[in-house]
Structure 1
Amino acid sequence: MSTSSIESSEQFPEPPRSRWQHIREGIYAAAAIAAVVDLVAKGVPWLMQFVS
């Protein structure tokens, strides 16, 4: 099974699967950026309490 899947992936790029993979990676990247932005947005006022 593994060798045949490797051969088929080398012969055919499989555009639908690669496209979904790119979309999924984009969603993960957007979620990571959103999480960082959310943490910064929550962390800045929390840090400002100690600064001021």
Structure 2
Amino acid sequence: MEEFQKVKPTILGEEKKFFGQVRNNEMFNSLDFVIQDVKDVNPQEMIKELEGKN
């Protein structure tokens, strides 16, 4: 947690894509998102990608 607090001010306001798996936590009856990868978001590339799906 201490490492995150050091990096937090530099990443606030940035957009990221998170990739991973959603798992059902039966003990707390909730969904957990287990992140496996984090990538920067390039809005121009995302627009091209979404336009190509039509």
Range of TM-score over shorter length: under 0.3
TM-score if structure 2 supplies the norm length? 0.27
> Could you say which structure has the greater relative contact order, defined with CA pairs below 8 angstroms and 6 or more residues apart?
2
Larger helix percent: 1
Q: Larger C-alpha radius of gyration, 1 or 2?
A: 1
Larger strand percent: 2
